[in-house]
Structure 1
């Protein structure tokens, strides 16, 4: 496939993250933000006007059936990822779907199976994996120059006022700290240490039946462990601290976004800056286009196996804290 091909993007959902993604699409080569869809046509048109989008739709079906669209970015609430993804895949559209990929392992397995059966590209939009600072950290760890990882601490908490209609607090929309932000510390543990041998977790629930905060301990062989925390009612440092045999790596706040890194070894600390000129979503979007240009139907970085491990880990934590969605 020609790497110079122009890719027409469609966006499903017009929330906050969709705006950031739209801004970034405007900055990358060979990409056109071609269409946007919302269940509210007025909202889609307002979004389209802001970003000079060619087509605006009041239904996801209309966007998915547009023959001029090559890739669809799904930015709807968690509970809709499954049905939105299947809709797009059924119309032979490449899909980049926001995290969490879906609400449970069964749904993710079905999404992946459909992508494979239709020979269509599908990827979970875990943007952190593609950011320069995070790629640097992974490379340093893999190089073994600081020895093996001994422990990881990672947190993601923000303070928000309780509103049962807000997506974050609404159980019908997959609300709660674990799925919304706890996925990032879990992703850090998975990408750095792999799948754990044992999991311990506890959570505080509110009147809506969702977890306001969640404390997670992941245990690995050789006494290695990850201590993780998420919250939607408490602001935390939002950093990741990795202790290794010969040094320490700190991914500064907010570790899941474009950030800086301090590496300490032999008593010497060095700060690494990674200047980014976009919101940071451009990196995963460029990767998707590269995969399509190479004829790939699966990411070489955020693979199906990694998405399956991540959703299984989320499901395992949910079982531990007794969190269930309808």
Structure 2
């Protein structure tokens, strides 16, 4: 396999986790770019990165860079992705990958023309526990998946300067945490839900603070979703089947699940992978995709999730006006 050179755009929490994941793999980041140059310098020193760009846009034109990991706010992704693709770079982009389907459609079409890999850094598609559970469900041991129930809630103070409630940073529950719930649903459903009823409570800034969804696909599989950025909930996913149900806690980076069987009354605990290695699994699959392995980044699921989020959201960000 080709030795792939990674560049990271942004120096926030997730960029630090990505650097640590590469170190676990025995690799390092080739270069770093950030809007504030001094932060990039400090990040490079922390992780022994040799190259820091004076102008953050230079990362896209560096011929040594194979893939750019974009960790900046949601509403900057589209502009950076277009620049990267036009310069022949593969891109792994933090969720949510874009603001809407229009942006994502243009990105996918351009990537196909340029022959580069575009993917969203969605942990659910790469954690070993989810691959194991999907194989189990495909075997028929629990019968058909009929209903999925999702919860995700955090209590964030009404600090309108942070990204959670700031429309100028593409804040709101759907793009920040809803993307996890809908990715979980899409992973286990036979097809994308095309019927949706929703309720939204807005934050004082106008973004979605609280969202409730009821979804159904053509196969009759249903899902309910409750999201909040101003009320604490467990990160819990439950998959209800004909012969039992699966319960998963901390589902964005899950490593274990409890399977409850109807007939025997037995509860089986299964584990796979490590919570701490969530980004390692993403990076490994991304490198496989870059080296020619098809389907491991699940861009089709990313599209379906973005289509659902775009359809549900009842307000526009400044970039969409």
Q: What TM-score do you get using the length of structure 1 for normalisation?
A: 0.92
1:237-269 residue CA offsets vs partner (Å, 9 max, x unmatched): 1010111001111112x1111331011112110
Question: How many angstroms does 1:231 deviate by?
Answer: 1.1
Counterpart check, 1:134 vs 2:136? no
Which residue does 1:311 correspond to in 2? 306
Give the Cα–Cα distance (whole angstroms) in 2 for the partners of residues 304 and 220 of structure 1: 19
Unaligned runs of 5+ in 2: none
Question: How many angstroms does 1:185 deviate by?
Answer: 1.0
Of 50, 61, 68, which residue of structure 1 is paired with 2:57?
61
1:275-304 residue CA offsets vs partner (Å, 9 max, x unmatched): 42744101111111112223x5xx513333
How large is the Cα RMSD of the aligned pairs? 1.6
> Are the aligned partners of 2:288 and 2:296 in contact in 1 as well (CA < 8 Å)?
no
Give the Cα–Cα distance (whole angstroms) in 2 for the partners of residues 273 and 163 of structure 1: 38
Question: How many angstroms does 1:71 deviate by?
Answer: 1.0
Of 25, 36, 45, which residue of structure 2 is paired with 1:28?
25
Which residue does 1:8 correspond to in 2? 5
> Are the aligned partners of 2:197 and 2:213 in contact in 1 as well (CA < 8 Å)?
yes
Of 154, 157, 162, which residue of structure 2 is paired with 1:158?
154
Counterpart check, 1:244 vs 2:241? yes
Give the Cα–Cα distance (whole angstroms) in 1 for the partners of residues 219 and 118 of structure 2: 36
Q: What TM-score do you get using the length of structure 2 for normalisation?
A: 0.94
1:167-201 residue CA offsets vs partner (Å, 9 max, x unmatched): 11110111001110011111111121121131011
Figure out how many residues of one structure are paired with residues of the other and give that number: 315
> Are the aligned partners of 2:73 and 2:170 in contact in 1 as well (CA < 8 Å)?
yes
> Are the aligned partners of 2:29 and 2:49 in contact in 1 as well (CA < 8 Å)?
yes
Give the Cα–Cα distance (whole angstroms) in 1 for the partners of residues 133 and 273 of structure 2: 15
SS of structure 1 residue aligned to 2:29:
strand
> Are the aligned partners of 1:20 and 1:279 in contact in 2 as well (CA < 8 Å)?
no
1:121-165 residue CA offsets vs partner (Å, 9 max, x unmatched): 211111211001111122222222110012110111111111111
1:96-133 residue CA offsets vs partner (Å, 9 max, x unmatched): 11111101111001101111111112111112110011
Which residue does 1:324 correspond to in 2? 316
Question: How many angstroms does 1:59 deviate by?
Answer: 3.0
Question: How many angstroms does 1:223 deviate by?
Answer: 5.0
Which residue does 1:219 correspond to in 2? 216
Which residue does 1:293 correspond to in 2? 291
Give the Cα–Cα distance (whole angstroms) in 1 for the partners of residues 194 and 309 of structure 2: 14
User: Greater CA deviation, 233-242 or 275-284?
Assistant: 275-284
